[in-house]
Amino acid sequence: MRGYVTAYDAQTGKQVWRFYTTPNPDNKPDNAASDQILMSKAYETWGDGWWKKTGGGGTAWDALVFDRDNNQLLIGTGNGSPWAHKARNGNGGGRGDNLFLSSVVAVDADTGIYKWHYQETPGEEWDFTAVQPIMLAELNVKGKTRKVLIHAPKNGFLYVIDRSNGELISAKPFTKVNWAAGIDLDTGRPIEYPEARYSESGLDFMAEPAAFGSHNWHPMSFSPKTQLVYLPIQEIPLGYKTDPNFVYRPGHGIWNLADGSTLPTNLGPQNEPDRIQLSQWTKGALVAWDPVKQKEVWRVQHPTVGAGGILSTAGGLVFQGTPDGVFHAYRADNGLEVWQYKTNNGVVAGAMSYELDGEQYVAILTGFGGANGLNVPYIDGVKTGQGQILVFKLNGSATLPVRQTKLQAATVVPKDQFTDEMVQKGAVNFGNCVFCHGFSAISLGVVPDLRRSPAIADKESFKAIVLGGALESQGMPNMTGRLKEDEVETIRAYLADRARLLDRDDKLRAKAAAN
């Protein structure tokens, strides 16, 4: 896709202005508010690669913030398409910055005309989107009150930026960062390690943070009372390697990654020992951060990733839910837990608060899902059915009915014999299924675990689901036009191989439990 943001008249629906976040591939006007800046400044930062067919990316899929003080809209933009910079830009394009990928862009709220930008990751190639929530605040910086924006995107640095002109005030890593040594405050550019540029080296690079982000879409918060930012962070490394034979495929695909890495973090755990090891590599935390001193004040370490967004209140509390189904309240000044409630389901959403008839309520949406809940195969989350909205107040007296945990289905091991070649091709074709059914076909229970599905034991039943739309009413899309019949059979071969391994691991675990 080619990213853009559009303003519409709220009364009539008529388009008022549009701002494209990547250039026109022919450097022609689009009759949009972005024409002048894209043609005069942005286009020259792009080469002659695949972006001219993919659109370049840069979608603004989360953060849109109105800054009333400056009558401007602040846009957080996404990553590039394809991911690998060299494939996107082309050999003749050099190391162009690819404006306005991974940037905060300010435009006039009335006209959409460009005002300023700050690019957090020039020449982005790690899926380091900058769409994460943007917060407006007033901070005392060196004895002077400044109106700033605070941003903690996927790339692992927390930025404090003057929102009147885009000037970088400070930037420091708030989590583990191995792709850059820091941010040069004179230029505003990251000080990159050469090894991180996998599309130039052609080698595997294990990045942290990576595509899942040190901070993703989960809301962070800022307390004017404590002057602290409260961040939900996650540490998930990912391996990158460019695909030298990459060719753009229009339509459905895994985001045209140009990512040929064979590291285990990409393929997912191949067995139970792998899964246990990867679970140790991934951690989550709630971090209180001082944006002026740019340092951590306190931390609550979580055993796994996928915790929810943050709510901080004037009562000096910070609320967060976790995948194990617990809703927590901490002291905002020191992180001490003062209250918790065990829900019936994992919590990945952010809480909110409201007042009604002079009484304060705190509400949270429970339910384990989202990107992590669907496809990261090493999160220990609580999954007991549909989510619920839970509302709390002081001296509340309601009780939550206990839900029964779903029984785990037995493994169904197909009797069919498949060649190694079919299994290997199926592992590749399973890329069409991985973002719902999980890496290595390990489901966390939000959607069916295909290794335990009776359908994989019968060719016709499996084909009817994947290509016939037999379960379309239950959310399983008809993949006709995306997959061919022989490709579907290779996926069944892959799942059969995964089912045999799961059956082995189940028996080993049962034997251990018996002892």
Q: What pLDDT is stored for residue 407 in this prediction?
A: 61
Q: In the chain, what is the greatest distance between 2 CA atoms, to the nearest angstrom?
A: 74
Task: Give 420-514's CATH code, choosing from 1.10.760.10, 3.40.1190.20, 3.40.50.300, 3.30.365.10.
Answer: 1.10.760.10
The CA dihedral of 416, 419, 423, 426, to the nearest 10 degrees, is -90
pLDDT at 246: 81
Task: Report the chain's terminal Cα–Cα distance, integer Å.
Answer: 55
Q: Are 161 and 170 in contact (CB under 8 A)?
A: no
CA dihedral 422, 428, 430, 436 (to 10 degrees): 160
Query: What CATH class does 4-152+164-226+239-266 carry?
Result: mainly beta
Identify whether the C-beta of residue 379 lies closer than 8 Å to the C-beta of residue 388: no
Tokens of 279: 């679970």
Does 127 participate in catalysis according to the annotation? yes
pLDDT score at 265: 53
pLDDT number for residue 256: 57
Is residue 366 within 8 A of residue 325, CB to CB? The reply is: yes
Distance CA 444, CA 376 (A): 8
Q: Enumerate the domain spans of the chain.
A: 4-152+164-226+239-266, 420-514
Q: Amino acid identity of 9?
A: D
DSSP labels, 385-450: SS--EEEE-TT----PPPPPPPPPPPP--------HHHHHHHHHHGGGTHHHH-GGG---SSS--G
d(CA 422, CA 147): 59
Query: What integer pLDDT is reported at residue 354 of this predicted model?
Result: 97
* pLDDT at residue 346, rounded to an integer: 86
Pairwise CA distance, residues 311 & 222, whole Å: 9
* Tens of pLDDT, residue by residue, the chain (515 residues): 899 999 999 999 999 999 999 999 999 999 999 999 999 999 999 999 999 999 999 999 997 999 999 999 999 999 999 899 998 988 644 569 999 999 999 999 999 999 999 999 999 999 999 999 999 999 999 999 999 999 999 999 999 999 999 999 999 999 999 999 999 999 999 999 999 999 999 888 989 998 888 899 999 999 999 999 999 998 888 888 888 888 887 665 555 565 555 555 555 677 777 777 777 778 899 999 999 999 999 999 998 888 899 999 999 999 999 988 899 999 999 999 999 999 888 888 999 999 999 999 999 999 887 766 666 666 766 666 678 899 999 999 998 887 766 666 777 788 889 999 999 899 888 878 887 888 888 887 778 889 999 999 999 999 999 999 999 998 899 999 888 999 999 999 999 999 998 889 888 888 888 88
Burial of residue 357 (CB within 10 Å: 0-12, 13-18, 19+) is exposed
Query: Which of these, 175, 136, 131, lies nearest to 157 by C-alpha position?
Result: 175
Given the residues 35, 97, 127, 259, the one annotated as active site: 127
Separation of alpha carbons 287 and 230, rounded Å: 6
- Supply the DSSP string of 37-81, one letter for each residue: HIIIIIGGG--SSTHHHH-EE----S-EEEEGGGTEEEEE---EE
Name every residue whose Cβ is closer than 8 Å to that of residue 172 and which is 6 or more positions away in sequence: 157, 158, 182, 183, 294, 295
Say what the pLDDT of residue 93 is.
Answer: 47
| Position 234, amino acid | Q
Q: What digits encode the pLDDT tens for the residues 163-211?
A: 999 999 999 999 999 999 999 999 999 999 999 999 999 888 989 998 8
CB distance 241 to 261 below 8 Å: yes
Q: Is 368 exposed, middle or buried (0-12, 13-18, 19+ CB in 10 A)?
A: buried
pLDDT of residue 439: 81
